């Protein structure tokens, strides 16, 4: 049986935690003097930087930054290997002059964390996006000298203008030539106006459940439409949350392209690769979609050899402390088992075999 691998699991390494604690603007970490019982809080979005329906920001504890908590979580859920990545918001907010050294520090920290747990931890690297393409390319090349990195995590804004920005081309080229996977992850969500006046009544549900995956869907669609995968046919991306909603909407996107008079006039239709082709050649999906309905679409879109189990740890912890295993993890495991039924090989591949092969683990 293949090992169980978690490809979607986050950590804030020491260098990043120090940085967040030293800051007073979003993103930052602090215990608020007017509400010390809420403990240390992490504020990563401007919209969280005020006490509204909930306490400011979100609680943050050792599970976010202590490597031993990651290992304990893995042991509890029978996860053999985790491919850890810095949780959002990464470094696009960082002063351009600091970004390169901060990224280096973070990646070196993460390399040491992985080294202390041989065979259990690998990583996706953090890029100094605010410092521009040259600095990013330099860090991508340096990551190949660190033995535990298998790719990089990036947000949907890229260098600030989205993933259809031509300024990203040297970065795509460097990732393609060094065979490093891009783990694409949301952070910004959608403009708050779309959620209406009652959004606060629904806790964090609308921005988290909808904003995140819709952001990912828009970002990857812009990348596809701009021809990123035609220019860089060897570029590979792993999409968070089973692609946002890309598997479900791929057919509609493809149909809209095929029926668009403007694209036809601009000769952008004939000869292009379809989204279905790109999904099966350049894109991997995690299996973090919390149900069989989504997972079936993801599997149909990407193929069962391109789907990889993940947990999104340490996010979505149980609300009841006494819970032993995490509901969020069990929901995703159960969906994988449900979809594969008696196909043990297919289930094992999604639970870890695909990640071992694609990410060259172990």
Site for a second copy in 217-276 (CB under 8 A): 217-218, 221-222, 225-226, 241-242, 245, 247-264, 266, 276
Q: How far is the CB of 215 from a second copy (least distance, A)?
A: 8
Closer of 61 and 362 to a second copy (Cβ)? 61
CA distance from start to end of the chain:
14
Write out the binding residues for a second copy, residues 80-99 only, by CB under 8 A: none
Report which DSSP code applies to 87: P
Report which DSSP code applies to 349: I
Among 144, 176, 331, 337, binds a second copy (CB under 8 A): 331
Closer of 178 and 328 to a second copy (Cβ)? 328
Q: Is 210 in the site for a second copy (CB under 8 A)?
A: yes
Are 142 and 103 in contact, with CB atoms under 8 Å apart?
no
Write out the binding residues for a second copy, residues 50-69 only, by CB under 8 A: 53-54
Closer of 39 and 234 to a second copy (Cβ)? 39
Closer of 118 and 261 to a second copy (Cβ)? 261
Segment lying near a second copy (by CB under 8 A), choices 60-68, 69-77, 141-149, 188-196: 188-196
Q: How far is the CB of 213 from a second copy (least distance, A)?
A: 6
Segment lying near a second copy (by CB under 8 A), choices 95-103, 112-120, 122-130, 195-203: 195-203
Q: How far is the CB of 352 from a second copy (least distance, A)?
A: 21
Write out the binding residues for a second copy, residues 146-165 only, by CB under 8 A: 161-162, 164
Are 245 and 190 in contact, with CB atoms under 8 Å apart?
no
Question: Which of 249, 242, 220 has its CA nearest to residue 286?
Answer: 242
Are 349 and 305 in contact, with CB atoms under 8 Å apart?
yes
Segment lying near a second copy (by CB under 8 A), choices 60-68, 87-95, 168-176, 197-205: 197-205
> What are 149's strand-pairing partners?
123
Q: How far is the CB of 176 from a second copy (least distance, A)?
A: 21
Closer of 103 and 298 to a second copy (Cβ)? 298
| Size of interface with a second copy, in residues (CB under 8 A) | 73
Q: How far is the CB of 12 from a second copy (least distance, A)?
A: 20
Question: Which of 226, 240, 207, 209 has its CA nearest to residue 85?
Answer: 240
CB atoms within 10 A of CB 161: 12
Write out the binding residues for a second copy, residues 129-148 only, by CB under 8 A: none
CA triple 291-275-358, angle to 5 deg: 65
Among 22, 145, 193, 324, binds a second copy (CB under 8 A): 193
Structure tokens at 91: 């470094």
HSE of 106 in the Cβ direction (CA atoms, 13 Å)?
Answer: 31
Closer of 65 and 326 to a second copy (Cβ)? 326
Q: Label residues 63-86 b or e (16+ Cβ within 10 Å = b).
A: bbbbbebbbebbeebebbbbbbbb
Write out the binding residues for a second copy, residues 13-52 only, by CB under 8 A: none
Are 228 and 220 in contact, with CB atoms under 8 Å apart?
no
Closer of 119 and 291 to a second copy (Cβ)? 291
Sole residue written with tokens 């789907």 = 307
Write out the binding residues for a second copy, residues 300-329 only, by CB under 8 A: 300-301, 316-319, 327-328
Q: Label residues 215-231 b or e (16+ Cβ within 10 Å = b).
A: bbbbbbbbbbebebbee
Question: Which of 156, 151, 159 has its CA nearest to residue 128?
Answer: 159
Q: Are strands 81-86 and 149-154 parallel, antiparallel or unpaired?
A: unpaired
Q: How far is the CB of 160 from a second copy (least distance, A)?
A: 11
Structure tokens at 167: 């300024």
Q: How far is the CB of 317 from a second copy (least distance, A)?
A: 7
């Amino acid at each position: 049986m293949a090992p169980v691998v978690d490809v979607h699991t986050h950590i804030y390494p020491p260098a990043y935690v120090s940085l967040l604690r030293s800051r007073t603007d979003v993103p930052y970490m602090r215990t608020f003097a007017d509400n010390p019982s809420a403990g240390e809080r992490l504020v990563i979005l401007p919209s969280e930087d005020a006490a509204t329906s909930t306490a400011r920001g979100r609680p943050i504890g050792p599970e976010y930054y202590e490597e031993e908590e990651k290992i304990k979580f893995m042991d509890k859920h029978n996860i053999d290997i985790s491919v850890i990545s810095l949780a959002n918001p990464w470094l696009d907010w960082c002063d351009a002059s600091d970004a390169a050294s901060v990224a280096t520090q973070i990646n070196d920290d993460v390399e040491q964390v992985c080294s202390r747990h041989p065979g259990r931890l690998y990583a996706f690297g953090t890029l100094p996006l605010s410092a521009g393409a040259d600095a990013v390319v330099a860090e991508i090349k340096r990551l190949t000298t660190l033995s535990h990195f298998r790719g990089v995590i990036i947000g949907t804004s890229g260098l600030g203008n989205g993933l259809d920005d031509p300024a990203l081309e040297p970065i795509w080229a460097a990732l393609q030539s060094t065979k490093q996977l891009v783990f694409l992850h949301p952070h910004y969500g959608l403009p708050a106006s779309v959620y209406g006046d009652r959004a606060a009544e629904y806790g964090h549900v609308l921005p988290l459940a909808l904003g995140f995956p819709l952001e990912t869907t828009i970002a990857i669609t812009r990348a596809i439409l701009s021809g990123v995968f035609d220019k860089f046919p060897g570029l590979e991306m792993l999409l968070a949350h089973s692609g946002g909603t890309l598997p479900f909407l791929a057919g509609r996107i493809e149909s809209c392209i095929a029926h668009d008079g403007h694209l036809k006039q601009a000769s952008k239709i004939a000869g292009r690769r379809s989204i279905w082709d790109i999904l099966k050649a350049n894109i991997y999906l995690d299996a973090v979609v919390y149900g069989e309905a989504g997972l079936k679409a993801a599997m149909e879109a990407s193929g069962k050899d391109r789907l990889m189990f993940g947990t999104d740890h340490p996010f979505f912890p149980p609300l009841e402390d006494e819970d032993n295993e995490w509901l969020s993890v069990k929901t995703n495991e159960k969906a994988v088992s449900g979809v594969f039924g008696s196909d043990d090989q297919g289930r094992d591949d999604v639970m870890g075999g695909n990640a071992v092969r694609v990410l060259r683990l172990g």
